[in-house]
Structure 1
Amino acid sequence: MVHHPLLIPISSFPAPPLEASSVVVLDGGIYVIGGRIKGKLLLLDCRTHTWRHVPSMGVARAAAAAEVVGGKIYVCGGCLDPESSNWAEVFDPKTQTWDPLPPMPDPEMRLQ
């Protein structure tokens, strides 16, 4: 086997398959969000080449939308209960905390 001098092996992914997970990249890390890991958040730290757990979301989500905005990770949808008031939350990697976003306005009010 030939080893490339710039490639460093990392440990195996520490969870079930990534089915229905969302993935974002932030500050040298790859975050794997929800899916079959039941509301959990995993981080592959690309600097240390290690996996670690990050605080869990308030609600388990699968196939949620996720995006980085202003240095924070926003996760929307993916709840089992579509009427849930927990439709979205935001993770602050600096404080390692999750906060719920305000509830969506009533759909009928948005049409007026």
Structure 2
Amino acid sequence: MPLKESAFLILSALAAEPTHGYGIMKDVEQQSAGAVRLRAGTLYAVLAELVEAGLIEVEREEIVQSRLRRYYRLTAAGARQLAAEADRRRAAANTAGRRLRRSGLLAEGGAA
């Protein structure tokens, strides 16, 4: 089943290393060149869904300035799901690029 954009980017962030919510938010923003900025409510709702699905897990918790900080990590199932989704997106992008080139709608040397 295809992943929502936010879930895909969160899994991708966690593929690099386990991290906490704020670190994930910054990584997602960087990956998307600023196009995706997760709000805390959205982030933690998606994190809860991913934990429930077994794609990520809480690696550890710590208290920082009287606040609980959870570090999340990708599970083996999450890595498989991320790889499958990356393949699916790559194939769709390749198809779109081929169609654009064949249609003549894309100028020579275009991005696709």
Give the shorter-chain TM-score range: under 0.3
Greater percentage in strand: 1
By relative contact order (CA 8 Å, sep 6+), the higher-ranking structure is 2
